A and B are shown apart, each in its own frame.
Chain A
């Protein structure tokens, strides 16, 4: 599945909501998120991708493409998102090192480190195709 596509989002929602461990870690979370993947034309990533989702009590209750006002907006170059997803860069390290622009309650985001980490583990199980030079990092995926 193409990273950031609607098909990918649907699979993210399905696998996340099937994960008991994530549900437990994120049971107190009720927040909406916008993720902005900025283009890198020099590396073959031509278009910006903007997706969003809402977490309610450990489940992704809604997904969407495009922008909405949300509790958190996280934006950064496509390659940074790839680095985070494949595990080369920790999510909290990306936040603190300003690899991503964070708009929203920073402390709340950091406090959700455990659920974020588990969520990334779930995402790594999805067969994922990246754009441009990042195709070298494509994830084969496996059943969660």
Chain B
């Protein structure tokens, strides 16, 4: 099989590897397409994944072969693989927090993933992809599940107002989900002009350029001085993380979905005086079914997020290099796997 192997920071190779063989309870998949996640790009910049791993956890695939003891799956079934495979035994699994599992397996992070023509996965980690969700859209199931997890963990309720910081795929999906969830208004702040345009197209009520506009003044105007109830930090960069607690109204909640690999200086005095809540949210293993339903019903528009579809051979040049740029042009890049 062909596979994209992570070697270290700035080093990903597409190489020939032996086909995996499914063991008991496992399934062999023919991967059709795989999205490049922001955390993959982060690893490409910083080297935070395990060297030697096959990357990729936003997977659209078809079952090729089932191992002994697998039920409910047959060759030809379309499937995606949950990005979090919890142990089911640790304290957090037993308390309903699989995204905090202490023995977690994560395809493309600490076990071989789906940026390859083939992969094997535990059958229990698979979800059926319905007919109405094409292979490209199926690559959004994982990031959409992440977003839904963050919103579900928050105190958000219909009628609330939110500011989304960062107009990448996670930010754009957050805008769409908050609107679907009944937000009174959702605003987006994003420095890149194409991403701001995308924000408008997915329904943001106002879109700001933080490099040219004073967000505090804009938000005061739009909310008649009340401020936004929520800030969803989806950029994962120090500047937005630092600013988020100051942008939310007093008593509001900051939900952090972006992963920042750098230390961030923050003003905790404002957090205390304004009784701001800060909430982290990681992955969304339990939200995969809901994400699939949203996509199947057409409630989330995949075309608004997927900007580029590239072949595997262009993974580094047109995928990682383009996404690692300081103000990247692509939004979600989906990689199509060759049929072999």
The chain A residue with its CB closest to the CB of B219 is A103
The chain A residue with its CB closest to the CB of B227 is A101
Among B215, B216, B247, B267, point to the contact of A105 (Cβ < 8 A). B267
Q: Mark A31-67, 1 if CB is under 8 A from B, else 0.
A: 0001010000000000000100000000000000001
Assess whether A107 is in contact with B247, with CB atoms less than 8 Å apart. Answer: no
- Residues of A close to B210: CB separation below 8 A: 69
Whether A68 is near chain B, meaning CB under 8 Å from some CB there, is yes
Whether B214 is near chain A, meaning CB under 8 Å from some CB there, is yes
Assess whether B212 is in contact with A104, with CB atoms less than 8 Å apart. Answer: no
Whether B339 is near chain A, meaning CB under 8 Å from some CB there, is no
Among A73, A101, A102, A105, point to the contact of B214 (Cβ < 8 A). A73
Known contacts: A69-B211, A104-B246. The answer to whether A75 contacts B216 by CB under 8 A is yes
Whether B220 is near chain A, meaning CB under 8 Å from some CB there, is yes
Q: Which residues of B51-96 have CB atoms within 8 Å of chain A's CB atoms?
A: none
Interface residues on A, range: 10 to 19
Q: How far is B270's CA from A107's CA once the two chains are assembled, in angstroms?
A: 8
Name the prevailing secondary structure of the B interface residues: helix
Whether A70 is near chain B, meaning CB under 8 Å from some CB there, is yes
Interface residues on B, range: 10 to 19
- Residues of A close to B267: CB separation below 8 A: 104-108
Q: How far is B211's CA from A104's CA once the two chains are assembled, in angstroms?
A: 16
The chain B residue with its CB closest to the CB of A67 is B214
Q: Which residues of A94-144 have CB atoms within 8 Å of chain B's CB atoms?
A: 101-108, 110
The CB with the most chain A CB atoms within 10 A, among B215, B217, B269, is that of: B217
The chain A residue with its CB closest to the CB of B215 is A69
Q: Which residues of A65-94 have CB atoms within 8 Å of chain B's CB atoms?
A: 67-70, 73, 75
Q: Mark B242-271, 1 if CB is under 8 A from A, else 0.
A: 000011000000000000000000010110
- Residues of A close to B212: CB separation below 8 A: 68-69
Assess whether B213 is in contact with A106, with CB atoms less than 8 Å apart. Answer: no
Q: How far is B227's CA from A73's CA once the two chains are assembled, in angstroms?
A: 14
- Residues of A close to B220: CB separation below 8 A: 36, 75, 101
Known contacts: A69-B210, A69-B211. The answer to whether A106 contacts B216 by CB under 8 A is no
Among B213, B269, B270, point to the contact of A69 (Cβ < 8 A). B213
Assess whether A34 is in contact with B269, with CB atoms less than 8 Å apart. Answer: no
Question: Separation in Å of the A51 CB from the closest CB of chain B?
Answer: 12
Q: Mark B163-184, 1 if CB is under 8 A from A, else 0.
A: 0000000000000000000000
Whether B325 is near chain A, meaning CB under 8 Å from some CB there, is no
Assess whether A73 is in contact with B270, with CB atoms less than 8 Å apart. Answer: no
Assess whether B213 is in contact with A67, with CB atoms less than 8 Å apart. Answer: yes
Known contacts: A69-B211, A103-B247, A104-B246. The answer to whether A36 contacts B270 by CB under 8 A is no
Question: Separation in Å of the A63 CB from the closest CB of chain B?
Answer: 16
Assess whether B214 is in contact with A68, with CB atoms less than 8 Å apart. Answer: yes
Assess whether B273 is in contact with A73, with CB atoms less than 8 Å apart. Answer: no
Question: Separation in Å of the A41 CB from the closest CB of chain B?
Answer: 15
- Residues of A close to B247: CB separation below 8 A: 103
Assess whether A73 is in contact with B269, with CB atoms less than 8 Å apart. Answer: no
The chain B residue with its CB closest to the CB of A69 is B214
Q: How far is B270's CA from A108's CA once the two chains are assembled, in angstroms?
A: 11
7 smallest A-B Cβ distances: which pairs? A67-B214, A73-B216, A103-B216, A105-B267, A107-B269, A106-B269, A106-B270
15 A-B contact pairs sorted by A residue (CB < 8 Å):
A34-B217, A36-B220, A50-B217, A67-B213, A67-B214, A68-B214, A69-B210, A69-B211, A69-B214, A105-B269, A105-B270, A106-B267, A106-B269, A106-B270, A107-B269
**Supplied contacts A36-B217, A69-B214, A102-B270, 16 more A-B pairs, CB within 8 Å:** A36-B220, A50-B217, A67-B214, A68-B214, A69-B213, A70-B214, A75-B216, A75-B217, A101-B216, A101-B220, A103-B216, A103-B246, A104-B267, A106-B267, A106-B270, A107-B269
